[in-house]
Amino acid sequence: MADEKKEVKPKKRMTATQAAASIGPMVKEFITGTLRARAEGKQKIAYTFIVCHHEEIFRAMDVVPVWTENFAGICGAKRDAERFLQRAESLGLSRSLCTYALCGIGFDQWREELGQMPPDAPWGGQVRPDFMISSGQILCDPRSKWYQASQQFMPDVPIYNIDLPYPLFQRDRDHRDVWDYYHQYIVKQLRGLVTFLEEQTKKKMDYDRLRELVDLSDRTWNLIEETYDLRKAVPCPMGTGDAMNTMVPINFMMATQQAYDFFVNLKKELEEKIAKGEGEVENEKYRLMWGGGLPAWFALTDFNYFNSKGASFPVETTYRMVAPLNQMDIPETKDPIEHLAWRWLGYWTFWYDKAKKRPGSEPDVERLINRIEEYKIDGVVMHEAFSCRTWHVGLIWQLHQLAKIYKPIPVFVTGKGGKKEKIYRELPSLILESDIIDITSYSEVDTKNKIDAFIETLESIRLNRAA
């Protein structure tokens, strides 16, 4: 049977920082940790999703989270997702749907059919949960459908679905006009989660502990901002390739001392590299931004290919799921649940005010513009993963809007002393196409050809500017 076959082991991506290199064993540990927790039977185990601002609640209740997107990503990175995707397809699920979810559902169905882990399951496999916390957010349909589909094979495992909306950006509206009732709703949803977990764990929430964990997360958020800001240095000490590793503590380990300590160490490492003038690449020629899209987890070595051409990635929008709390206009509160709800709203509306001030801008576009300027970016790379609408629909339009600002012609601006200056604001972009974990969508040759052509464009712009 085709689904018994594993794919060829991928090449390992070279990292620029020690911190990024330490991530692999860390991820392996929390996968094996869930297996250990299941064997010991002392803690409840829950499937759940990243970016829900609920980690603090989980950890305060001693619930072990199983990040199902993470497990699917590991299957992809190990080039061992295909057999699970095929399982899902055999159930009637289309390959055009979120492949993280397909991988997870295929795995669950197989595990439940066997009554044990599928053969050679990556890193021991994804453990059977006690319950599942899904999330009907404004930005991802599969998050509220995935566990419902998995429940077909484990109907005894209950689901709690948290609804976490935020006001969508509308140019002519002030989101603050509506966010009180958004906040009230999110608070009720999070309190509902607490009640559900109390019922499942037979324990009461310790609100002092929760408050401490929320404070720890907040400090980690600010520390991440400070750390990532160091990548503005020229040459850039750490690129997006590494950030696809360091996203792990941001997205899977928030509200832990380990995540905080990780960024203390990363910050120190980056400061040392900057002091020594060490960059991600030896001779940095081009500074690129990963401007959108989840990566192809099976092809992270493509970042090394960019690096080999002198291209560094000082910044990315993907997985930088934090924003400086001190710049958020959110009310003070001593109630940790209320704070989580405000932080949620503050994060998603972070760019709204700035976007309104610039004609033609919009929060996602505004974020790109700010990053381009702050990190001195020469070009934008995006990845269109065919199976994910959540993070990928809208990218073409964002580039379209960006092209109105960064034109491929010299632009005259008023410079110092009121004199007109001719500047070149051309910003080429590249869209790579494949998927998050479905390797059948990927062509290494085509990808490298596209990168080569893009680098040639960057070089020609560089030479023109120099001339």
Q: In degrees rounded to 5, what are phi and psi of residue 21?
A: -65, -25
Report the SS3 class of residue 405.
Answer: helix
Residues 286-345 that bind other proteins (CB under 8 A): none
Q: Which of 386, 403, 424, 457 binds other proteins (CB under 8 A)?
A: 386
Q: Which of 5, 176, 188, 465 binds other proteins (CB under 8 A)?
A: 188
Residues 142, 389: Cα–Cα separation, whole Å: 10
Distances (CA, A) of 392 to 163, 265, 351, 395: 22, 32, 19, 6
If binding is defined by CB under 8 A, does position 113 make contact with other proteins? Answer: no
Site pattern 73..92 for other proteins (x: CB under 8 A): ------------------xx
- Among the residue ranges 24-32, 176-184, 206-214, 266-274, the one whose residues contact other proteins (CB under 8 A): 176-184
Tell the burial category of 14 from Cβ atoms under 10 Å away from its Cβ (0-12, 13-18, 19+).
middle
Instruction: Confirm or reject binding of residue 173 to other proteins (CB under 8 A).
Output: yes
Position among 22, 271, 394, 403 found at the interface with other proteins (CB under 8 A): 394
Can residue 158 be called a binding residue for other proteins (CB under 8 A)?
yes
Smallest CA-to-CA distance from 270 within 260, 281, 279 is with: 279
The nearer residue to other proteins, 41 or 92, going by C-beta atoms, is 92
Interface with other proteins (CB under 8 A), residue total: 62
152 is an interface residue for other proteins by CB under 8 A: yes
Order of strands, sheet of 311-316, starting from the edge strand that comes earlier in the sequence? 311-316, 286-292, 379-385, 429-434
Find the binder of other proteins among 31, 46, 72, 93 (CB under 8 A).
Answer: 93
Our finding on whether 142 is near other proteins (CB under 8 A) is yes
In Å, what is the CA distance from 36 to each residue of 45, 154, 306? 11, 21, 39
Among 117, 159, 234, 328, binds other proteins (CB under 8 A): 159
Beta-bridge mates of residue 164 = 137
Contact, 313 vs 289, CB < 8 A? yes
By the rule CB under 8 A, 97 interacts with other proteins: yes
User: Which residues are registered as beta bridge partners of 315?
Assistant: 289
Least distance between other proteins and beta carbon 402 (Å): 13
**For other proteins, the closer CB: 164 or 233:** 164
Cβ-contact 160, 188 below 8 angstroms:
no
Tell me how far apart the terminal alpha carbons of the chain are, to the nearest angstrom: 61
Site stretch for other proteins (CB under 8 A), options 74-82, 237-245, 322-330, 381-389: 381-389
User: Exposed (0-12), middle (13-18) or buried (19+): which is 144, by Cβ within 10 Å?
Assistant: middle
397 lies in the binding site for other proteins (CB under 8 A): yes
List of residues contacting other proteins (CB under 8 A): 91-94, 96-98, 101, 134, 136-142, 144-146, 148-149, 151-152, 155-156, 158-159, 161, 163, 165, 167-171, 173, 177-178, 181-182, 184-185, 188-189, 192, 360, 362, 364, 384, 386-390, 392-397, 400-401
